[in-house]
Amino acid sequence: MSQIDEKIELFLKNPLVEEESFWDSEALIWVDWKDFDDSIVEYFNEYLLEEDKIKFELIENNKPRGVDIFLIKDEVKKAIPYDEERTDRDTTLKAIQSFIAPKYQIRWYMDSLGGDTLAFCVLPTEKWLQLEKEYEEEKVTYYFAPLSQDSVMFELDMDEVFDLLEKRKRL
């Protein structure tokens, strides 16, 4: 078991006691709304095995967003599907998730909801499934929400953030 696995498991055993130390732990990958999208790829690469690290190219273009980021696997380049106008953290994170699946899964650490810097964890998918079995899926997903193509994280408006915070209080 890695140190990151241990930190997440310790947190799930007793979230109220472990919350403060978990917040500062190396298990969390912090992404700020102002981070460059290529930096986000590098953040996640720090947590992946050498053979699973994401190769990518940043290519300037004449579009309003100014760049394209291509993720590269087995000599195949796939562009992150940004809007014409700009790059955005949500699209980058979902593209990384698609790229590293099914071996790995990125989860949003929901206690970071409401800030302009959000926290994420990445573990092998089998480890997340094991944690869900051991600590119950509902509890694991309450704290660590899986990313999907429908996930909205940085693009939430304030009303949506407050609604989510309120729903979490009631759970």
pLDDT tens for each residue of 32-63:
999 999 999 999 999 999 999 999 999 999 99
Average pLDDT (97-124) is: 96
pLDDT of residue 74: 84
pLDDT tens for each residue of 117-128:
999 999 999 999
The reported pTM is: 0.94
Q: How far apart are CA 65 and CA 86, in angstroms?
A: 4
Q: In the sheet where 29-32 sits, what is the strand order?
A: 29-32, 117-124, 104-109, 144-146
Q: How far apart are CA 159 and CA 90, in angstroms?
A: 18
DSSP string across 116-145: SEEEEEEEEHHHHHHHHHHH-HHHHHHHEE
- 3-state SS, residue 16: helix
Average pLDDT (96-113) is: 96
- The percentage of residues in the chain with a pLDDT greater than 70, rounded to a whole number, is 99
**One-letter amino acid for residue 116 of the chain:** D
pLDDT tens for each residue of 158-167:
999 889 888 8
pLDDT tens for each residue of 137-158:
999 999 999 999 999 999 999 9
Q: How far apart are CA 2 and CA 17, in angstroms?
A: 21
What are the sequence ranges of the domains in the chain?
Answer: 3-170
- The percentage of residues in the chain with a pLDDT greater than 90, rounded to a whole number, is 84
